[in-house]
Structure 1
Amino acid sequence: MSETPDVIAYEPIKVDALFGEGHQAPAITDDAPTLDAPAVPLGVIPSEEATEPGAEEVEERTIDQSREEVEFIPEEAAEVLEELISSDEIGLDAQAVPMGRMPTGAIRPPKPPPQLPRRVKEGEVVLTQDEYNELTTTKHDSIDDLDCALFKDNNWYKEVFTEDYFRTLPKNFHKQTIREVEFIIQRLGAEPGARILDLCCGFGRHTMEFAKRGFNMVGLDLAMPLLQKGLNEAQRRNLSIKFVHGDMRELNFDKVFDGIFNVQTSFGYFNDLTNYRVLQRIFRALKPGGRFLVETINRDFVVDDLPMRIWWEGTECLILEEVDYDFMLSTLQIKRSFVFEDSNRDPWEQHINIRLYTPAELSSLMRRAGFEVLELNGDYAIPGAFFGAASRRSILIAERPVDE
């Protein structure tokens, strides 16, 4: 009988608890990053070393225990965008760079940057000294004035990925999931037994299909309701999966995975600098020769049809979805209004903001993070083909080089 899946509470991730004694992630430092530097750690350095029990001794925690026992790194501590990242440094198209609101009135010299605390407080914007120096130009007087140049992380995903998220999903994913998993396996070049990370796994529909085919699966997500559903279903199917309750911004693996995939437009939730750092951490988590697949909405496909406003039927509710695109910030902005069949439930709204990259922009970010970009696809049904604005998706495959 297969090992039953478990949920590993995020503290952040203790790699020995996942893979047994002997794995060691590199030390976390506070050095300011450059776009050519290796992965830069974010958040708070854990005060304890990773535990080192054997796999059979790992403490199993229930979801409720995890909620009560785990002290999380503040998720609201958003990384900030380097001011108007120029195409000379990062290779982004000019129109894709967030511009923001320019300050008006007299321009005053910047104040000296403050010393930043080691541990961040909930909700504050976090900068390293060098990042502050770079952002604090004649346009800004202090961190408080940086709103005019930043794409701010408002943590919208915390309100979206709850129990009500399941109301927005199709009734049957089975055929779609099989087609997508077969494509991902082929493009990752993975064989059964390989260790694969489903990054932002949700309730694990891809994770479980991979596990069913003999892969050593780890699924990571920040939304506990989705992980709970995945855990229950994996137990029902008797599948061996390690589910990790964690934040993609805090990956702490070093050369662990043979492949990593991030699909269903789960990339682009943060500002450009944080998205770039996520790519650095993904790169570090891969073994040399390991591949990364990322799927996003193809920006050129959607912008011509926006703004749009549609009604659609969810589970025991009607949903009004209003979609627009902010060309200044290069973000897809979605407002969902729910009207429930249950008269005791009040209508409510969700707001979603996703940074959409062109294939050229995302490829440039990935190369800066160290990847070799191998291929661009426009759909799961036609491997190796991309049809520009006619392709609904942008699916990039990249590799961590064997000889770095």
Structure 2
Amino acid sequence: MTAAWVPGDSASTFDARKVFDRDYLHFYAPRLTDRRSDAEAQLIWELLGLEPGMETLDLACGQGRIANRLAARGCRVTGLDTVPLFLEDARRDAVARDVAVDYVEGDMRMLPWVERFDRVISWSTSFGYFDDTANRQVLTQAARALKTGGLIVFDLNNRDWLVREFQPTIVVERDGDMLIDRNRLEPLTGRVVTERIVVREGRIRRLSFFVRLFTFTELRDWLLAAGFTDVDGYGNDGAPLSSACSRLLAVARR
């Protein structure tokens, strides 16, 4: 199916099912190796001070590569995502690993839980796909789902790094197929808007989407306004945060 696409469109809405589909997995899943996923699960474990038995929510859990690994370590994990395709893959992987994870199809802007979780995870740029009002609502909902004293971790693009290293065009090729992203920065909205062209198996598909960028100070202030207290910032792999870090990790306490 070809998505509606207009050159220059500001992509005011985000359709996760069109962006995160089989084409996305075809081009990007090979990068999500077991070694990488194991290392990221370990980093999350350390940043959040996780322990077996803790109630943990993986917000926008995707294919469950983090949720299933944390469940294998003894956490009681719930994974929420809006893409049925990803949830199906996550459940199959959970069966293969012989772990139990409660996978739920839902919207992170409207979480059904109140003071349920010890820890919440928002990993691999899973935050920032709505307008600012709705993005703030996600933070408020996450705070509401956490127990008092609970922690949340974010893994996002580091705006300070991305602006300096910005690439207007990114091309990914695999097995004769091609994914082309044409990117532009929007200073007035703080977004990177992407016009994507997928050339695969003799067809061409076009779509447009965006993601909100954050500096640590802006994200910290949003978290404090949403009801969190202490907020700490880190760079890649939990190192000290600097403008040389491509990733921004933030850990906040409810």
- TM-aligned CA deviation for residue 251 of structure 1: 0.5
Gap runs ≥5 in structure 1 = 1-150
CA distance in 1, matches of 2:214, 2:50: 27
Q: How far apart, CA to CA, are the structure 2 residues paired with 1:368 and 1:328?
A: 21
Task: Name 2:171's counterpart in structure 1.
Answer: 311
Shift of 1:336: 2.0
**Structure with the largest fraction of strand:** 2
SS at match of 2:66: helix
1:399 aligns with 2:246: no
Instruction: For 2:209, give the aligned amino acid.
Output: I
Q: Work out which of the two has the higher radius of gyration on C-alpha atoms and give 1 or 2.
A: 1
Change beyond 3 A, Cα 1:339–1:152: closer
Write out aligned runs for 1:248-263 (5 A): 248-263=108-123
Q: Is the 8 A contact 2:173 2:179 kept in 1?
A: yes
Report if aligned partners of 2:124, 2:155 keep a CA contact under 8 Å in 1. yes
- Per-residue CA distance 1:27-63 (angstroms, 9 max, x = gap): xxxxxxxxxxxxxxxxxxxxxxxxxxxxxxxxxxxxx
Structure 1 counterpart of 2:37? 177
**Inter-partner Cα distance in structure 2 for 1:153 and 1:266:** 17
Q: Provide closer, same or farther for how the CA distance between residues 347 and 378 of structure 1 changes in structure 2, counting only shifts above 3 A.
A: same
- Displacement of 1:236: 2.0
Q: Is the 8 A contact 2:79 2:102 kept in 1?
A: yes
Corresponding letter in the other structure for 1:378: G
Which 10-residue stretch deviates more, 282-291 or 231-240? 231-240
Whether 1:239 aligns to 2:96 is: no
Q: TM-score, normalised by structure 1?
A: 0.58
1:156 has 2:15 as partner = yes
Q: Deviations over 1:69-108 (max 9, x none)?
A: xxxxxxxxxxxxxxxxxxxxxxxxxxxxxxxxxxxxxxxx
Residue pair 1:373, 1:396 contacting (<8 A) in 2 also: no
Structure 1 segments of 4 or more deviating over 3 A?
A: none
Normalised to the residue count of structure 2, the TM-score between the two structures is 0.91
2:193 touches 2:209 (CA, 8 Å); kept in 1? yes
Partner deviation per Cα, 1:264-317 (whole Å, 9 max, x = no partner): 111111111111111111011111111000111011111123352132213662
SS of 1:365's partner is: helix
Work out the number of aligned pairs and report it.
244
Q: Distance in 2 between matches of 1:351 and 1:337?
A: 9
Q: Which residue of 2 aligns with 1:358?
A: 215
In structure 1, C-alpha distance between the alignment counterparts of 2:175 and 2:91, rounded to whole Å: 22
SS of residue in 1 equivalent to 2:109: helix
The correspondence for 2:150, drawn from 261, 272, 290, is: 290
1:361-402: CA deviations, max 9, x gaps? 11001001111233101112xx35111x211011100001xx
Q: What value does the CA root-mean-square deviation take over the aligned residues?
A: 1.6
